Structures are given as C-alpha cells and as structure tokens.
Amino acid sequence: MTPGSPLTQDQRAELRAELESALAKLHRSMAVSEGAVKPVELDQTAVGRLSRMDSLQSQSLAKNLHERERIKLALILEALNRMDRGSYGICAGCGEPIPFGRLAIFPETPTCQGCA
C-alpha cells in the first residue's frame, strides 16, 4: 500500500459532486424500494422488474435492497459531513490520506484499502 497524497481542490470538488449525485440517485431509488416493502398495490412502472418475481421473494429482496440502501445513505451523508469539516479523504483507521483512485470508485468510503 502506497499512501495517497492529500486531495487537490479539483479532486475534492469532483468527489463532492459524485457524492451529491449518488445521494440524489439513492433518494429516488429508496422511494421506490420503500414502497415495495409495504404490502400495498403498486404501480407497475414503479416495481418494474420486481413485479415478475414471486411476491414473497420480492418482498425479502426489497427489504435487503432497502437495508443496503440505508447503509449506503448513511455512508454518503457521513462523507459529506466529513467534507464540510475538512476531514474528508483521511482514513478513519490510520489517519493517512486515502488515495484518490480509491475515492473515485468509493467516494463514500471512510477508510483506506488497508483499513477497510
């Protein structure tokens, strides 16, 4: 593991835009999966691919998906918080800068690869 160098302004701005668009996307998809967890009549266009599955299976899939989305949402919000506090891009485990290459793939990650 080679330690990364601190982020440049441009990289930080790029990652913030990335996080914000991921957040917006997540909000949209959560609105759909939130609906899919509840046993209500659903608009076919909202359920899409899920409507073809057995209803029990799709219920549990929807719950799993929703759970993953909740975790990701929390990570993204935390990352944006760290960005506001100026500690974004610093590994929560070892305190070293997280390489930009890793942040570009996982902008919400709080740790470097070694500490993940």
Contact residues: Zn ion, CB under 5 A: 91, 93-94, 112, 115
Per-residue burial over 13-26, b if 16 or more Cβ lie within 10 Å, else e, is: ebbbebbeebbeeb
CA nearest to 65, candidates 46, 43, 50: 50
Q: Which is nearer to Zn ion, 65 or 91 (CB)?
A: 91
Measured from the CB atom, the residue of 58 and 109 that comes closer to Zn ion is 109
Min separation Cβ 95 and Zn ion, Å: 7
Closest approach of Zn ion to the CB of residue 99, in Å:
10
CA geometry: angle 12, 16, 17, nearest 5 deg: 120
By beta-carbon proximity to Zn ion, the closer residue of 66 and 102 is 102
- Min dist. Cβ of residue 96 to Zn ion (A): 6
* Amino acid letter, residue 67: E
